[in-house]
Amino acid sequence: MHISYIQAIKNTTFRLEAVGIEGARTESELILAELAKFSRTEIFLHYNTQMPQSVIDSLEKVVQRREKHEPLQYILGHAYFMNLDLLVNPNVLIPRPETELLLERLCKIVPHEAKVLDLGTGSGAIALALGFERKDLNITGVDVSTDALKVAESNRLKYKLDNVAFFQSDLFSNLGEQSFDCIAANLPYVSEHEYLSLMPEVKDFEPKLALTATEDGLELIYKCIKKAPEHLNPGAIIIFEMGISQAKNIHDALEATGKFKNIETIQDYSKRNRFVYAELK
Ligand SMILES: C[S@@+](CC[C@H](N)C(=O)[O-])C[C@H]1O[C@@H](n2cnc3c(N)ncnc32)[C@H](O)[C@@H]1O
């Protein structure tokens, strides 16, 4: 069978649009570029080139999986986050673009040679992107899921980051008396109710353990707020990623401990409340 890249892009776009996938054309170009090992620019230059049989075969397998709404990052096995290309599989949440805002903030404000904890590290995205940008930092990433930690460790080895270490812990349970200058926590924050309305890419494929928490999504964040002061050095920073309607509850919980100051909500580029920042008194 003879088929050019542009024909394949058009066919793939048509098939993905038919199952309601938004941005189907861009995604089709991404898929073809990846399978043919072209850059996004090279694919344009090869629009009229005939595809080798091997690419035709792998394309069919990818499209069949994507038609079932499996996230492209799981199909291709990797996801871009900040300057990193991270391995991902269904044991880890696919790192989100909004979390990059958290990283940008952390890169600027974490003091020199600080000890940092990434709570709920998943693929290791926050710990590794921070460790990659800031070689002076000493970073620990913990997760309750040993399967997620295998992915995080593979990513650490890929980038040979000796300033990052991962281990298993249910929140602070295995951290002994260690204390940190900064805690970054992107813990699960979706309520059971919201979970039901998530898109199939998320609900049917991403790990529920990485997404939901009880108490309207705030259970783990509340637990973390109660315990964090024991693991923060005086003046240390804590930042939570959260759902857009959770800022007040998180502020109140931080205030209620009487141990935090300079509590601040940080918005994303669409002016939605996405992070809460505080410092230990
Ligand atoms: C929202 S995901 C964030 C993953 C990653 N930090 C990121 O930003 O892409 C939350 C992570 O918290 C982990 N997690 C859930 N409950 C936890 C707990 N009790 N203690 C530690 N980690 C937990 C999940 O396994 C998941 O990897």
- Nearest to 172, CA basis, from 222, 122, 224: 224
Residue 35, amino acid: L
**What residues line ligand 1, using a CB cutoff of 6 Å?**
93, 95, 99, 120-123, 125-126, 142-145, 148, 170-171, 186-188, 209-210, 220
pLDDT of residue 40: 84
Distance of alpha carbon 170 from its chain centroid, rounded? 19
Q: In this model, does residue 218 exceed pLDDT 90?
A: yes
Looking at residue 277, what is its pLDDT?
98
- Coil, strand or helix at 80: strand
Phi-psi region of 88 (alpha: psi -120 to 50; beta: other; left: phi over 0): beta
Mean per-residue pLDDT over the chain, rounded: 97
Rounded Cα distance between 116 and 137, Å, is 7
Task: Give distance in angstroms: CA of 186 to centre of ligand 1.
Answer: 6
Whether 1 has a pLDDT exceeding 80, the answer reads no
User: If you search the block for the tokens 């959770």, which residue do you land on?
Assistant: 246
Q: What is the mean pLDDT of residues 200-223?
A: 98
**∠ CA(210), CA(161), CA(103), 5° rounding?**
50
- What is the distance in A from the centroid of ligand 1 to the CA of 231? 18
Q: Which is nearest to 76 in space by CA: 140, 42, 32?
A: 32
**Given the DSSP bridges, would you call strands 138-143 and 115-119 parallel, antiparallel or unpaired?**
parallel
Contacts of 26 (CB under 8 A, 6+ apart): none
For position 261, what pLDDT does the model report?
98
**Structure confidence at residue 211 (pLDDT):** 98
Give the pLDDT mean for 42-52.
94
Would you say residue 7 has pLDDT above 90? yes
Average pLDDT in the 16-41 region? 96
Q: What is the pLDDT of residue 104?
A: 96
**Residue 84 CA, distance from chain mean position:** 12
Minimum-distance ligand 1 atom for the alpha carbon of 118: 6
Phi, psi of 146 (to 5 degrees): -70, -30
pLDDT band at 229 (very low <50, low <70, confident <90, very high): very high
Question: Separation of 177 CA from ligand 1 center, angstroms?
Answer: 21
The band of 121, judged by pLDDT with boundaries at 50, 70 and 90, is very high
pLDDT of residue 205: 98
Q: Show the tokens assigned to 180.
A: 């940190």
Q: Which of 169, 166, 95, 107 is nearest to 135 (CA)?
A: 107
For atom 17 of ligand 1, the residue with the nearest CA is 144
Among 82, 128, 143, the mutation site with the greatest number of ligand 1 atoms within 8 A of its Cβ is 143
Q: What is the pLDDT of residue 2?
A: 86
Span 91-115, average pLDDT: 97
Alpha helix (H) residue ranges in 19-167: 24-36, 40-45, 53-67, 72-76, 97-109, 125-133, 146-159
What pLDDT, on a 0 to 100 scale, did the predictor assign at position 255? Answer: 98
Calpha distance 187→175 (Å, rounded): 17
Question: pLDDT by residue (tens digit) across 234-260?
Answer: 999 999 999 999 999 999 999 999 999
Q: What is the C-alpha separation between 231 and 183, in angstroms, rounded?
A: 9
Q: How far apart are CA 133 and CA 113, in angstroms?
A: 13
> Considering only CA atoms, which residue is closest to atom 11 of ligand 1?
120
> How far does residue 98's CA lie from ligand 1's centre (Å)?
16
Question: What angle separates helix 125-133 from helix 146-159, to the nearest 10 degrees?
Answer: 20
CA distance 161 to 140: 12
Task: Compute the average pLDDT of residues 16-33.
Answer: 97
Distance in angstroms (rounded) separating the CA atoms of residues 239 and 241: 7
pTM over 0.85: yes
Q: What is the mean pLDDT of residues 118-136?
A: 98
Q: Measure 178 CA to ligand 1 centroid, in angstroms.
A: 20
* Ligand 1 centroid from CA 189, angstroms: 10
**Structure tokens belonging to residue 274:** 């996405």
